[in-house]
Amino acid sequence: MDFSYWYFFLLALFGAVVANSTGAGGGVVFVPAFNLLGLSPDSVIATSFAIQCFGMTAGTLAWFKHAKLQQASSAPSVWREYLPHIIWFGLPSMLGVAAGQILFEARAAHEVVSLFKGFSIMFAISILATTYYLIRAQKRKLPPVQAQGYFYLLFMTVGLVGGVITAWLSIGVGELVAVLLILMRYPVRMAVGVAVSVSAMSVWVGVQKYLWLMPAIDWNVLVFAGPAALVGGTLAKHVIAWFTPVQLKLFIAAWILFSAIAM
């Protein structure tokens, strides 16, 4: 074990907390950091996938426990849609990741940086827009939009497209899912929990390529980052309780813009 990589423990801890408390994939932290540290583009994506397998899985388990408590309490009935929403988004996202990795073969690896910057800036702007929408909805006390009929087709489309983007950048589907559910006025914590779970399903599919077909994971990084991501994913649900939904969204938007510009 090379202890000169110890600082990846702190980086992964921070990344997992951000990812699992906002619904944004851990790639929003890992990709720009790994790029600045000089990892190859393939290794950036592969290692980000591998770390997220630890962090997003831990976060999924924590959010499932929270969802169970909400369903057993007097919380809004929309919490009963928690698992069905994960399935509607998650299964297409897994297919999208697999398809995206096949399509990625035709792209140059150096395009990762430019694609990441473009998507990050668009996502940061969408967060700011949904934050404004969230504030207005809270003031007007509007109920959630109930999913029915064509909404499920929309969920599947978002999952599929988000999966393709995730295959390229190790971020994408969680962000799209969280934004959509917030726009539908679902509880922010429910939107985050669903996004985290869908992201976990996606990264487990995505990492298979880098385990069996194209070994590119930096194991020196993963030795320190994996355990930290487990801790961060478990703690994130408690961290989110310290902030209002608006504060959380403003923070993650600022971070994404900063990281995209810094790359």
Residue 161: pLDDT band by 50, 70, 90 thresholds?
very high
Most confident of 65-69, 88-92, 101-105, 186-190: 88-92
Q: Is the pLDDT of residue 91 over 60?
A: yes
Share of the chain above pLDDT 90, in %: 49
Q: Is the pLDDT of residue 198 over 50?
A: yes
Mean pLDDT for 80-103 is 95
How high is the pLDDT of residue 110? 60
Residue 8 CA to residue 147 CA, distance in Å, equals: 41
DSSP states of 11-48 as a string? HHHHHHHHHHHHS--THHHHHHHHHHTT--HHHHHHHH
Q: In angstroms, how far is the first alpha carbon of the chain from the final one?
A: 29
Query: In this structure, are residues 225 and 12 in contact, taking their beta carbons and an 8 Å threshold?
Result: yes
Tokens coding 103:
């399509």
Average pLDDT, the chain: 87
Residue matched to tokens 């209002």: 244
Q: Is the pLDDT of residue 74 over 80?
A: no
The pLDDT tens digits of the residues spanning 102-143 come to 887 645 556 777 888 888 888 888 888 888 877 777 777 777
- Any alpha helices (H) in the chain, and if so which ranges? 7-22, 27-36, 41-72, 82-104, 111-140, 150-169, 173-183, 188-208, 219-239, 245-262
Write b or e for each residue in 8-41: b if 16 or more Cβ atoms lie within 10 A of its Cβ, otherwise e. bbebbbbbbbbbbbbbbbbbbbbbbbbbeeebbb
Mean pLDDT for 216-240 is 92
Tokens coding 80:
């009963």
Residue 94 CA to residue 90 CA, distance in Å, equals: 6
How high is the pLDDT of residue 117? 84
The pLDDT tens digits of the residues spanning 21-60 come to 888 778 888 988 888 888 888 899 999 999 999 999 999 9
Tokens coding 21:
């408390």
For residue 195, how many C-alpha atoms fall within 13 Å in the half-sphere facing its CB? Answer: 30
Residue 124 CA to residue 132 CA, distance in Å, equals: 13
* More reliable by pLDDT, 236 or 25: 236
How high is the pLDDT of residue 107? 52
Mean pLDDT for 234-245 is 81
How high is the pLDDT of residue 106? 45
